[in-house]
């Protein structure tokens, strides 16, 4: 069995997976440590405030970096004909938006809206939208690479669920905000972790070209 994924892409996959896991573990721990917050109704933004907020902020930066690394890794891993700069650029935009979300403080309940809280809210929405569209487009590009085509159905299906979740989160105003947002984040993290792990493991199998068509031989 011949390894066909560039070594750099696999290293980027490892680093991205580490960033996703750091975010997931820190945010999960925060649900138990922040006993002053009701996890069912409190959005994740409020965990950036007050005690232990710096830990959550650091986790945001780790995930932001992971999304950029994942976009770069998949761009390099795919065959030239299957590559597209669109998912990479959207992952970068999502990472930047998430970093802005981490540093711009959200408004506290009962406080008037400030420019900083407005920036926080807009950046958070941009991060959700950019990353889910990036997931959809990146999954779609897998169809164009014979080595990765078998991953398309799972990747695209989960990305579609996460994308739909963004609109449910935006339109279903009466739902428990904390629960719904954290479920959406979990779906996104599952996709990112899965894609990073695939990239880390690499694609295997020699590619043969016959009559102008590529074929993947899996021993």
CA dist., res. 158 & res. 191, Å (int): 7
The pLDDT, as a whole number, for residue 1 is: 40
Of the candidates 54, 80, 57, which has an alpha carbon nearest to the alpha carbon of residue 147?
80
User: CA distances (Å), 212 to each of 67, 84, 208, 209, 215, in order?
Assistant: 35, 22, 10, 6, 10
The pLDDT, as a whole number, for residue 72 is: 97
DSSP the chain: --B-S-HHHHHHHHHHHHHHHHHHHHHHHHHHH-TTS-TTT--GGGGGSSTTHHHHHHHHHHHHHHHHHHHHHHHHHS-GGG--HHHHHHHHHHHHHHHHHHHSPPPPTTSPP-HHHHHHHHHHHHHHHHHHHHHHHHHHHGGG-TTTGGGHHHHHHHHHHHHHHHHHHHH-TTS-HHHHHHHHHHHHHHHHHHHHHHHHH--BS-EEEETTEEEE---
The pLDDT, as a whole number, for residue 31 is: 93
Report the chain (219 residues): mean pLDDT per 10 consecutive residues.
73 97 97 90 91 92 98 96 96 98 85 87 96 98 95 97 94 87 96 97 59 41
CA dist., res. 149 & res. 74, Å (int): 13
């Amino acid at each position: 069995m011949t390894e066909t994924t560039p070594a750099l892409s696999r290293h980027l996959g490892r680093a991205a997976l580490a960033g996703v896991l750091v975010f997931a573990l820190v945010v999960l721990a925060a649900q138990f440590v922040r006993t002053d917050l009701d996890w069912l109704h409190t959005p994740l933004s409020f965990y950036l405030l007050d005690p232990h907020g710096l830990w959550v902020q650091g986790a945001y930066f780790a995930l932001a970096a992971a999304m950029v690394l994942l976009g770069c890794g998949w761009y390099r891993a795919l065959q030239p004909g299957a590559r597209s700069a669109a998912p990479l650029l959207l992952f970068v935009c999502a990472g930047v938006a998430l970093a802005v979300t981490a540093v711009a403080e959200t408004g506290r309940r009962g406080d008037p809206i400030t420019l900083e809280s407005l920036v926080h809210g807009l950046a958070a929405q941009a991060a959700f939208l950019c990353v889910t569209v990036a997931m959809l487009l990146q999954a779609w590009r897998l169809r164009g690479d014979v080595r990765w085509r078998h991953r398309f159905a799972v990747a695209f299906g989960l990305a579609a669920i996460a994308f739909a979740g963004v609109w449910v989160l935006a339109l279903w105003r009466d739902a428990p905000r904390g629960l719904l947002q954290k479920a959406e984040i979990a779906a996104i993290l599952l996709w990112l972790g899965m894609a990073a792990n695939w990239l880390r493991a690499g694609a295997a199998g020699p590619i043969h070209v016959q009559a102008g068509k590529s074929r993947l031989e899996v021993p």
